[in-house]
Chains A and B, each alone.
Chain A
């Protein structure tokens, strides 16, 4: 009896200690290791593996540096870990200096997001420096300053942030990045705005539909079926690109995204509307659905930040003051083409005009003979497909992560409010503004705050022009 009491007591105490954490923080994952390889330059595609304990061989996680040399591995808890940089993944022109070396031992405190620094050198430098005392093996992220875990968390990565670049260089570079980011936001939020217009519903699950698209493309891009299909056409001029697993993955993700959107409308929202469920209640349902979708994606695909296996390492093109990788140029191109297509669809086709009519005034559209249910179904399909596309582009531009869509959602909200709730073109304009503001703010302010600036612009617009840039003034008391 006594032992039982003690057990229960211990369990209770444990629960009391654990619950606060799980209550709020377990989505965050708690501890992690991260870093950015940027000496002498940022290098993408370096493989990093984390093992448990200083001696252990159990792999905790693996990461690959992204286009800015950043990597991150989530940890199961505080403790000792061994971080190993795979020398095989290092390009030939660099070597790992003797100190700190390619294998580091670190201890992690509870809730700590610890930055681990690896350094690379050219062989010549290595020879010079080998005598000198090397810098500290690891440093806490407070030392890191400009790009610690914070900006990662903020969702988007900032290019051209390397110290030393001149202001105008950074300005141009960030403008391009802002355009790219803005177009991605625009593509994702057109659906959000149209859905609001046609159903008066704020779709809180829209961000997770973005994540869904990104993960679907990831799944297809990693399928052996697709890569073996690709091998058949490897080297053939056009088909090489068309059968690239990621390109096929993108198309399939868009189709699936559209199916998800239309399916939701057909099997969830329409029946709920038929039951006269109040709008506020519908908001809550979208929140509930977004929680389900997001965490199912987390369970199925894991919490790692990942890049698509294709189009990873690319030589940047130098275009005047701007350097851009073919990948990012491709994203820009696809985004612009799709937005123009969507705009012409809305402007010139029957269905597009009907969509705008319903978004403008549902009752009026209904009384003038438009099949509102059908239009709503198409809007959801279109919205789902576009958000999936936005997800793939975003994943290609940055990394694929289970919370990417949720972070983007807040910026999408800012975009649709900026442009005018319910207007498709407004969402496009708003998206561009938000993307540019977010990126350009890093010229002067910490990248950790880029989303804060975007949201700040939204609040400013609410104060001075609540109907948004392209919205019509409503009658409000």
Chain B
């Protein structure tokens, strides 16, 4: 078993573009749940429409990538409004159920036969990122240190995705330190109290849902660019649950919680996968089949969620004091 290899691979994943995509979506979820207290269990739905903004824009209509990303943002905005307008006036539980249901319904619609001319149905859309790589200013070659190594295209992708992450962080941080953020956090604590002070809670919740949803949509768009092809079945509800695990691991309502969580979880997941794979191929785990690794990984995430809530509800960098105050 090659521990060095596993370590490098895991590090690689933790800083790689996929982790960055999850960070973007997790920042959005942090806006929803961490700051506003909205129970969004359908963040993957925003990623879906974001990815398909690019997929449909580039793959179906042949738009330029940049226009397509605008389409992604527009789609995420529309989805947020569709979700928010019926449910944000109701109790929090309703949003939870509606988001998970709409995200899944969205996936079923995008993969349906009748949507095929637009979305490509179950096959999705391919070759979406040519414009992106054509714009790569980095000279070709290999870049890396300590065994971690990227091509110029991977590096370009990472620069852009992490750049978006930095922008998103700057945006959330400055919003959260403004009077707007104060109202948002007030809503998380008790929306009736905020309403009694003359704030239109519904408008703020809608704004938060749109902002966080657009971040999820951007994550989806970057996922489409990264993979160059997308299918609806990449957007299973599990993705949302992963995002929740990541956010809680990092620490909700913390600017860097949404960054740290996905990186750490991706590191752990890859290490878990690779170690298990190595053990299986060395026949050290006779009762585990190679094809079970994916399933075991999901179970591992589930277990991690349970243990986190029970033993460290504030996450890695959350504030224990704030957690204790939160006894209602």
Q: Is A326 positioned at the interface, with any CB of B under 8 Å from its CB?
A: no
Q: Is B280 positioned at the interface, with any CB of A under 8 Å from its CB?
A: no
Main secondary structure of the interface of A (DSSP, over half): helix
- Please tell me if the beta carbons of A11 and B5 are within 8 angstroms of each other in the complex: yes
- Please tell me if the beta carbons of A295 and B101 are within 8 angstroms of each other in the complex: no
A-B complex: 10 closest residue pairs judged by Cβ atoms: A291-B302, A288-B305, A24-B234, A292-B302, A295-B299, A26-B294, A288-B306, A295-B295, A298-B295, A295-B298
Q: Is A223 positioned at the interface, with any CB of B under 8 Å from its CB?
A: no
CB of A30 to closest CB in B, whole Å: 9
**Residues 97-113 of A at the B interface (beta carbon under 8 Å):** 111-113
Instruction: Say yes or no: A113-B299 contact (C-beta < 8 A), given A9-B149, A448-B113.
Output: no
Q: Is A455 positioned at the interface, with any CB of B under 8 Å from its CB?
A: yes
CA distance in complex: A414, B104 (Å): 13
- Please tell me if the beta carbons of A28 and B233 are within 8 angstroms of each other in the complex: yes
CA distance in complex: A421, B91 (Å): 11
Interface string of A442-461 (1 = CB under 8 A from B): 00001011011001101100
Interface residue total, chain A, C-beta cutoff 8 A: 77
**Residues 53-96 of B at the A interface (beta carbon under 8 Å):** 86-87, 89-94, 96
Q: Is A16 positioned at the interface, with any CB of B under 8 Å from its CB?
A: yes
- Please tell me if the beta carbons of B97 and A149 are within 8 angstroms of each other in the complex: no
Q: Is B283 positioned at the interface, with any CB of A under 8 Å from its CB?
A: no
CB of A262 to closest CB in B, whole Å: 18
CA distance in complex: A384, B297 (Å): 26
Q: Is A284 positioned at the interface, with any CB of B under 8 Å from its CB?
A: yes
Q: 11 more A-B contacts (CB under 8 A) besides A28-B233, A455-B105?
A: A284-B305, A295-B295, A295-B298, A446-B112, A449-B108, A449-B112, A452-B112, A455-B101, A455-B102, A459-B86, A476-B89
A288 and chain B: residue at smallest CB distance: B305
- Please tell me if the beta carbons of B102 and A459 are within 8 angstroms of each other in the complex: yes
- 9 interchain pairs, CB-CB under 8 A: A8-B149, A16-B16, A26-B294, A28-B236, A150-B113, A153-B233, A448-B108, A459-B98, A462-B94
Q: Is A410 positioned at the interface, with any CB of B under 8 Å from its CB?
A: yes
- Please tell me if the beta carbons of B112 and A20 are within 8 angstroms of each other in the complex: no
**Which residues of chain A have a CB within 8 Å of any CB of chain B?**
5, 7-9, 11-12, 15-16, 19-28, 76, 111-113, 141-142, 145, 148-150, 153-154, 196, 202, 204, 272, 275-278, 280-285, 287-296, 298-299, 406, 410, 413-414, 417, 421, 446, 448-449, 451-452, 455-456, 458-459, 462-463, 466, 474, 476-477
- Please tell me if the beta carbons of A20 and B18 are within 8 angstroms of each other in the complex: yes
- Please tell me if the beta carbons of A277 and B313 are within 8 angstroms of each other in the complex: yes
Residue of A5, A24, A281 near B313 (CB, 8 A) is A281
By a CB distance below 8 angstroms, the chain B residues around A291 are: 238, 241, 298-299, 301-303, 305
